Amino acid sequence: MDRSLTDLFRGTTGGQNLGVGQAMPRTVISVLVATLVLAGLLGMLISSQAALLLGIPALAMTLFLLLLRFPRLGVYLLALLIPIQYWTRLENQATAIRYLGWLVFAAWALGKPVQKTSLRRLLKGPLFGAMAAFLLWAFVSVLWSPLEAWQVSYFTFLQLAGMVVVFVDLVHSREHLEATLFCVFVGTVVGAGIALYEYLSVLSHWQSWSRALGGFGDGNYSSASYMFVLPYTLFLVSGRSGWKRVFALVSVPLLLTAVGATASRSGLLSIPLWLLVQFREAPNRRHWMLWFLVVLCSALLAMRFWPWATIEYRMSTVWTGGAPEDLGGRIGLWVYSLERFVQKPLTGYGLSTALGDWSRFVPHNLFLQVAVRLGLPGLLALVWILAVSWRSLFLAYRQARASGEGETAGLVRAIQDGALLYLFFSLSLDTAMSRLLWLTFALGHICRTLVGYEVASESQSQMARKVQASRLLGFGDPEERLHG
């Protein structure tokens, strides 16, 4: 395997492997993997019960061994499955990404003793301080939360935090970052294809209230993922060549068509916001014209297939009816949430979906969702996490521009625009437990770290060239002359 391709999957830094699998003989791992795969296939061929008892555990163990040897493979698999998690459910209706997340985290944790690196250095930074404050208060909320509901919610937060830690630790070069984003992009395009399949398969008996659900199993969340990757898609169009550019060009109308197929009001309203943030700072006039032509042609093509009757019906519910139906009923939910928050501003009602007469209350707002559940301390911790992430993206973009790293600046800007669009969706969605939201937290920290490392490396390279030139000219080391 090519060395650069191997580094793309292994958790390596300067040739040092970060996975415990490197310490195991390659032959032993190959035999174990082959045995477990054979056991899994035999279990599936014998019967469905044998597949459950033998096949699935064997395949899970095989994947775990692969993750030990190639830790970053887990990052790419998670990134790929996030946008299509609803369509990768098991028989118990649990999503496969939940179990994959624990496998990835376990393989990563086993690799840390082999690597002999301190977690203190990894967890140093404002992001992890904010996350620790949020998790600590969520843990304390067990005192006033229904125990069973608290366990489900809190361990979901723990897995999301673990995902952030793993991403931050294993994505430590621009190539790794681009590979991670490309996996998210591919998964999202697959999710858009699912939405279009749902739409076209029932087109003959499509009703005015029908909607495509997409890879998240919910039209709003799926639409949010499509808009999240659109800025990155245009980055590929302008910054790449070959098959990636062609794939991105084809994906723009596909993603826009899927937004219409979900008939998401937030999705449709986010398109003008996307255009505004996309064209506010194009890298140059040629790219601006290319983006404009791509977006114009894609929008015209997508709108040709949109279910206009459904869109008109859903938009009509925004402005008609009494106050509870304003903005599709959102205002009534927000007012009710604020009233409940005022009643318990310090503690909230705990990590439970029940609230008052509601067996499953949905505030349809990220900030109100956290405020009602965890009170003001939880809300402040969430705002702290968001502020740290946005500041990291802003500083990374500014530093990349100042150092002349135009391509890196474009990549960071695409992430920043995608995060802004997802935050817009969060104003009308409960995204506190969304993997895509927590992924943006990790991406902010990664961008800040990578840009700082690239700038420092470039400065060191320039200094080394100056020293070499000074010595060749017979002037000696400039640092020695400066202090000498």
* Angstrom distance (rounded) from CA 105 to CA 180: 17
- Is 64 among the domain residues? no
- Is 172 among the domain residues? yes
Query: Which residue from 301, 295, 83, 304 is spatially nearest to 183, judged by alpha carbons?
Result: 83
- Is 6 among the domain residues? no
Encoded tokens for 125: 């930074």
Q: pLDDT digit string (tens) for 343-396?
A: 999 999 988 777 766 667 788 899 999 999 999 999 999 999 999 999 999 999
Cβ count within 10 A of residue 53: 13
Residue 204 in 3-state DSSP? helix
- Is 156 among the domain residues? yes
Tell me phi and psi for residue 357, to 5 degrees: -85, 0
- Is 20 among the domain residues? no
Which stretches of the chain score pLDDT less than 70?
A: 1-56, 58, 90-93, 114-119, 121, 203-204, 208, 281-287, 317-328, 356-359, 453-484
- Is 465 among the domain residues? no
Q: Which amino acid is at 217?
A: G
- Give residue for tokens 């008939």: 263
Q: Which amino acid is at 221?
A: Y
- Give residue for tokens 């195991």: 24
Residue 340 neighbours by CB under 8 Å, 6+ apart: 349, 355, 356, 372
Q: pLDDT digit string (tens) for 286-341?
A: 667 777 888 888 888 888 888 888 888 888 766 654 444 556 678 888 888 899 89
Tell me, what's the pLDDT at 424?
94
CA 436 to chain centroid = 4
In which domain, by residue range, is 158 found?
A: 71-447
- Is 249 among the domain residues? yes
Tell me, what's the pLDDT at 27?
60
* Angstrom distance (rounded) from CA 435 to CA 82: 7
- Is 30 among the domain residues? no
Tally of structural domains, the chain? 1
Encoded tokens for 278: 């996309």
Tell me phi and psi for residue 95, to 5 degrees: -75, 145
Query: Which residue from 108, 215, 225 is spatially nearest to 164, judged by alpha carbons?
Result: 108
Q: Which amino acid is at 191?
A: G
Tell me, what's the pLDDT at 33?
61
Contact assessment for residue 86 and residue 262, using Cβ atoms and an 8 Å cutoff = no
